[in-house]
Structures are given as C-alpha cells and as structure tokens.
Chain A
C-alpha cells in the first residue's frame, strides 16, 4: 500500500534556527497538507497546497512558516526561526481529491526546539 514518507522522524534544533521538514506524498495525489500536534493537544491544521500554491492556511501558519514542492515529489515545510512553542509532532498528508475522504497521513516528524 502506498505511503506518505516523512523525514526525519525526530529533529532537535536550537531556538532561532531554521528547520525544513520533508515529506514525499503519494505519487498520484494532488492535494498536500501539513498538520501539527503539540504534546497533549489536538491535531491542528496548518496549511493545504494544491496546484503549486497554498489553497488554505490557518492562523498558526504565520510568516515564519512556508511550504514548497521543489521538485515534483518532495513537499517541504520550513520554519524560518524556530521558537520553543514550535515543538510538536508535524504530520504531512496527501489526498487524491479534496476533502477528508482520501487523506493518507505520514508517520510524523517530532520537532524539539531547545
């Protein structure tokens, strides 16, 4: 069964540093997403991406965040200058159509900002 692959599984970074979280969505999927889950809290939507542009973003997704699909296979989330409160599990997802029906989630990247 096709999978969404996320690397690394765990990243530790110093406050103020830039991090890039990588995702390889399922190859025939058209919609891409990032979600995050702060420890003990719910999974929260960050951003959706379709046709090489952001289609929707939450209030969490401020100017510190950016997404890119640089080469047609990878889908990256960049945090420009990390803060302690960015520590969370970040999940990538992709779907072949809009809506929650066809979502496939990656296994997540645990980001720890120290």
Chain B
C-alpha cells in the first residue's frame, strides 16, 4: 500500500531563515510526487511536481529514491509562505492522489 508521511504537523520559521518541510513515502512502483499548498481559506494548489524539477516561489524539492523522501526546501522564508503544505503521491499513469497529513508552516516576522 502506498503511504505518505509528513512528520511535522506544525513548523514555525523566522522570516529570512531556511525552510525544510519533510515528506517520506512508501510505494513499490514508480511514484510521482507532488507538493500542494493551501493558503488560508483558499483551494489546494499544485506547488511542485518532481518530474519537472522546477522552482516555484523559491521552493525546490528533490526526489531521493534511496531515502524515499521528497522534502520541500526554500533558502529564505517569506511571510507569504505561511500556509498548509501537503505532500502527495500518485501511481504513474493512475488517477488517485495519496496525501500526507500536511504541515502548517508559519513564518514569524
């Protein structure tokens, strides 16, 4: 069975400090990994996907198959980064997303 684990429910970081949101997964096939963000009272939005290897709003995430991790990182946190962040996994070619429990990131001014 596939599973996504986000060990931190809450994370507080000072503005300008580095951010790392942890995500580990268990899956036997070739997973697709994603990070979704939910700002206050807004919808879930796709932030990053591992296959595109892009940087969005200064965030990056590298898939580490050896450690089965897909941690989200940003070198300098900004106040507008405060939100709920969800790591998610999909079977390649399948439709279903499996989400982690989410991490609420708070940036302290």
Measured CB to CB, the closest approach of chain B to A102, in angstroms, equals 9
A-B contact pairs, 30 of them (CB 8 A): A4-B43, A31-B95, A35-B97, A41-B101, A42-B86, A42-B102, A43-B86, A43-B88, A43-B99, A45-B96, A45-B98, A56-B94, A56-B95, A56-B96, A95-B95, A98-B95, A99-B91, A99-B92, A99-B94, A100-B32, A100-B49, A100-B90, A100-B97, A101-B49, A101-B51, A103-B97, A105-B44, A105-B45, A106-B43, A107-B42
- A48 contacts B101, CB within 8 Å? no
Band of interface residues on B: 20 to 34
8 Å CB interface, A1-58 against B: 4, 31, 33, 35, 41-45, 48, 50, 55-56, 58
| Further 12 A-B residue pairs, CB within 8 A, beyond A48-B95, A50-B95, A107-B42 | A41-B101, A42-B99, A42-B102, A44-B99, A45-B98, A48-B96, A56-B94, A56-B96, A99-B94, A99-B95, A103-B46, A103-B97
The A/B interface has a contact count, at CB < 8 Å, of 59
- The answer for the CA separation of A112 and B8 in the assembled complex, in Å, is 28
